[in-house]
Amino acid sequence: MEDIRSVLSQFHTKKKSTAETQKSSTRPDAMALSSEIPDVFFDVVLQKYKLNRPEITLLMFLYRQVWCRPNLYKSHGIGPLNSYSDLCTNLGLSIEELGTYLRVLENYGFIETVRSGQYFVRKFFTEELDAQFGQNYDEFF
């Protein structure tokens, strides 16, 4: 009987335990995903508009929420509702800085506020570029 137990103990089950599954999803490379950012952002927007680093970071954060992740209102260009405190924590900004950068992006026409914490983000960043690339949005407002 002990021979059978020693043989069976050498084989591992095929199912991963939940602890192993959780460990594997928190690997350092688990966050290494890719997002599709149109080349026009690098070729036109960054050259034409003098955005600073936090403005670019905020724009990319909102853009990825709307266009690169599963989103119910993607066809309308509208992102999910954000908490300002969560945005500040994720981006390393104060509430005042966040408000300033949101206004700058709105003044350039990259985003529009739907309601506090929820934004319309253009697929090609400006109205002119949207028209040039044939991007239109379903009527939502």
Q: Which pLDDT band holds residue 33 (cuts at 50, 70, 90)?
A: low
pLDDT of residue 34: 76
pLDDT of residue 13: 62
- The domain limits of the chain are 52-114+124-132
125 — alpha (psi -120 to 50), left (phi > 0) or beta?
Answer: left
The per-residue pLDDT for range 61-110, each reduced to its tens digit, is 999 999 998 888 888 999 999 999 999 999 999 999 999 999 999 999 99
> What are the start-end ranges of the H helices in the chain?
2-9, 18-25, 39-40, 46-48, 53-63, 84-91, 95-108, 127-132
